Amino acid sequence: MISNILLYTMIAAVISFALGQKLKAVRWSFSALFLGYVGFQLYGLYGQWGMVETHNIFSLGSINFSLNFGITKLGWFFAFFTTIINIMIWIFSIVKNMNEKEERGINFLWILLAGSNLAIFFSVDWITFFIAWEIMTWTSFFIITPGWKNSFKAANWYFILSMFGAYAMLVGIWWLYATPAIHTLNIASSIALLAKLSITAPGTVGIIIALFVLSFFAKSAVFPFHPWPAEAHAEAPDDFSPYLSGIMIKYGLYGILLFIVPLFIQIMKVNPNIAMVNGIPVYSYILAWFGAITAVLGTYLAIVSNDMKKLAAYSTVSNIGYAVTSMFILSSAGVTGGLFHVVNHAVFKSAIFLSLGAVKFRTHEREMHKLGGLATKMPITFLTFLLGIIAAAGIPPLNGYASKWIIYQALLSGHFPFLTTMIFLASTGAFLYLFRALHSIFLGQLPRKFNNVKEVPFLMQIPMILGILSMLGIGYAPGIVLKPIGLAVKAMGLTPMTVENTLMVGKLSSINTAVVSSTFIGAFFFAFAFYLIGKKRHHVEPLDNYTAGQDPEEFGLTPELYHFALKFYEPVKNIFRPIEEKLNIKNYYRALVRNANSFGATLSEMFKLSGAGSSMIFVLGLVVIILAGWML
């Protein structure tokens, strides 16, 4: 069943490419409709857990290579919600791509990407997982750089990190297959065997886990690899960045949830003699700290960034940090919280990116201080962005709060004081840059050149309105999403949280989200009653403002000058300036690049030297290979 879905996606990709240059709208609406059909099929597959389809391709000696897809609860859940968000984004890009030149290639690659997206979630053995992972990497690379010169430099960074991650995973898979004790490619069985092996040979298990964690962290931009999303998202086409930060960055988290977390749980059960901290293995605690550092770093970098898409990208990095921290707590609340936050983040982040795309569609401007006052001109976009940042800051009536609440339950009941402080610092900091984006783009003074900016066409508004409704819906009744998550958590061997439609019961306290939202609405009417007392307020245009008595025209005051947005958080930057100079990841990478270049240059220099030079390198290389073969 799954394999013919994937087959149809390949065919659909080719058909969409075949459609002529003029039929832009037809192409994108065809792909949106096709994905709707795929979503419907997926919905049909809900019940059939564990159904595996194997397709042997060829056999080489004793090993027979076969692609096999199976439906796991976790895989289905990820596949379904990513497809829905993808449909939303494609409706947006129908109109957006009307005046794009080379959008034919993007659509072809994007459908392939959607196909590989499904393949990743449904792959049961490592080989298919790796193949799908590779297709996903190079298709997304070519979409990010549709021929624009500066986007190549940005995507270059993303490509190198993904390649690094992919090779680490390939070595890991090979190592898994090579060790006699495991010798299997099936993911589920590899977890069980690895857990047993950890008693006898913890070293090898540690290395394998490290390799896989490296590749998943590289993909999901966790601490050491956190700078790449800023460039990649900023340069990507406007309708692809919601996909990039809503879904693409979640593959690493899917990998962690698929392999690393159940492995740690098994090890905790099976292997008595591992160092435990607060009831979880030491290395899981360290990885949780990686997540916390990402959260804080992402928040700080977002506060000081001035480009709106970079800001949203850094906020994605910080939200990934929350999810990673709560996953590595290994308690049922932790994993549920992490998973739920992944879904919530996908929803509200794609809403935010869609509204940013709409703003860019109308103003062709990316620097925040050049924008301002667009709220009255583009109300729907403003409302989407407003609800997006309320959800992203985790403020109650919306969905961001539900997952943050579960994460806090997990962290607090698991007795992790410093992790909770870091996460809380990151989430209060999140409120800083989110409000800055809201103010610099939508509130404040409207520059004169945007006086006749109109709202985006209705077709673009549909996905935004859908985003708003889903945010409010999940915020009001998180049970809808939490039930399938409960199934996935049970599959990992943890007892899921007791959840009804609007009630969430945690260890420390329980919360009924419906009551929380209705209190807010009640309080709003209470405030509105006060608002009705007294005379009706009268309207005043934006520039008739308090300017200490000076009248703007004579003072030479233009709306652009009067819009305070450029150095919004200069004090925060001053506070962190001494720390920022010393430890900056980017200089570290630049130093790495310089060393690599110099090494390559010396090598080629020696090679061109003369016959002696090249033979010497040849001998040196031979020796190195023999040594490596003998040692392993």
Q: What is the dihedral of CA 28, 29, 34, 40, to 10 degrees?
A: 130
Q: Which of residues 539-558 bind other proteins (CB under 8 A)?
A: 539-546, 548-551
**155 within 8 A of 232, measured Cβ to Cβ:** yes
**Which of residues 58 and 546 has its CB atom nearest to other proteins in the complex?**
546
Asked if 514 touches other proteins (CB under 8 A), the answer is no
Member of 509, 587, 614, 615 binding other proteins (CB under 8 A): 509
Helices (H), 182-260: 187-200, 202-220, 228-235, 240-246, 251-255
Q: Which of residues 327-386 bind other proteins (CB under 8 A)?
A: 373, 375-376, 382, 386
| Contact code string over 208-247 relative to other proteins, x by CB under 8 A | ----------------------------------------
Q: What are phi and psi of 127, to 5 degrees?
A: -65, -50
At residue 397, the 3 state secondary structure works out as coil
Q: How far is the CB of 520 from other proteins (least distance, A)?
A: 5
Asked if 538 touches other proteins (CB under 8 A), the answer is yes
**70 within 8 A of 51, measured Cβ to Cβ:** yes
**254 within 8 A of 613, measured Cβ to Cβ:** no
In this structure, which amino acid lies at residue 534? G
Q: How far is the CB of 575 from other proteins (least distance, A)?
A: 6
**Which of residues 417 and 621 has its CB atom nearest to other proteins in the complex?**
417
Asked if 43 touches other proteins (CB under 8 A), the answer is no
Q: How far is the CB of 538 from other proteins (least distance, A)?
A: 6
3-state secondary structure 136-160: HHHHHHHHHCCCCHHHHHHHHHHHH
DSSP E strands, 18-158: 52-60, 63-70
- Determine the interface stretch with other proteins among 123-131, 176-184, 415-423, 597-605 (rule: CB under 8 A): 415-423
**Which of residues 164 and 569 has its CB atom nearest to other proteins in the complex?**
569
Cβ within 8 Å of residue 564, ≥6 positions away: 444
Any idea what DSSP says for residue 225?
G
**Which of residues 428 and 587 has its CB atom nearest to other proteins in the complex?**
428
Q: How far is the CB of 530 from other proteins (least distance, A)?
A: 6
Q: How far is the CB of 396 from other proteins (least distance, A)?
A: 6
Distance from C-alpha of 5 to C-alpha of 122, rounded to nearest angstrom: 11
Cβ within 8 Å of residue 8, ≥6 positions away: 34, 38
Member of 105, 522, 600, 621 binding other proteins (CB under 8 A): 522
Member of 569, 589, 613, 616 binding other proteins (CB under 8 A): 569
Member of 131, 395, 491, 585 binding other proteins (CB under 8 A): 395
Q: For the beta carbon of residue 148, count every other beta carbon within 10 angstroms.
A: 14
Member of 516, 585, 606, 616 binding other proteins (CB under 8 A): 516
- Determine the interface stretch with other proteins among 54-62, 131-139, 163-171, 563-571 (rule: CB under 8 A): 563-571
- Determine the interface stretch with other proteins among 75-83, 233-241, 263-271, 559-567 (rule: CB under 8 A): 559-567
Q: What is the dihedral of CA 248, 251, 252, 253, to 10 degrees?
A: 110
Member of 20, 61, 272, 534 binding other proteins (CB under 8 A): 534
> Please, what sign has the CA dihedral across residues 95, 96, 101, 107?
negative
**Which of residues 218 and 371 has its CB atom nearest to other proteins in the complex?**
371
Distance from C-alpha of 632 to C-alpha of 628, rounded to nearest angstrom: 6
Closest CA to 466 of 345, 383, 547: 383
Q: How far is the CB of 524 from other proteins (least distance, A)?
A: 4
Distance from C-alpha of 189 to C-alpha of 209, rounded to nearest angstrom: 15
**338 within 8 A of 253, measured Cβ to Cβ:** yes
- Determine the interface stretch with other proteins among 201-209, 217-225, 410-418, 456-464 (rule: CB under 8 A): 410-418
**Which of residues 415 and 594 has its CB atom nearest to other proteins in the complex?**
415
Q: How far is the CB of 440 from other proteins (least distance, A)?
A: 9
Size of the site for other proteins (CB under 8 A): 78
**467 within 8 A of 388, measured Cβ to Cβ:** yes
Q: Tokens 């886990």 label which residue?
A: 209
Member of 275, 527, 583, 632 binding other proteins (CB under 8 A): 527
Q: How far is the CB of 510 from other proteins (least distance, A)?
A: 6
Member of 101, 149, 530, 628 binding other proteins (CB under 8 A): 530
**329 within 8 A of 416, measured Cβ to Cβ:** yes
Q: How far is the CB of 421 from other proteins (least distance, A)?
A: 6
User: E strand or H helix at 281, and its extent?
Assistant: strand 280-281
Q: How far is the CB of 529 from other proteins (least distance, A)?
A: 9
Q: How far is the CB of 573 from other proteins (least distance, A)?
A: 10
Tokens of 545: 């403002």
**Which of residues 120 and 371 has its CB atom nearest to other proteins in the complex?**
371
Cβ within 8 Å of residue 576, ≥6 positions away: 300
Q: Which of residues 418-477 bind other proteins (CB under 8 A)?
A: 420-421, 424-425, 428-429, 431-432, 435-436, 438-439, 443-445
In this structure, which amino acid lies at residue 275? A
**Which of residues 364 and 538 has its CB atom nearest to other proteins in the complex?**
538
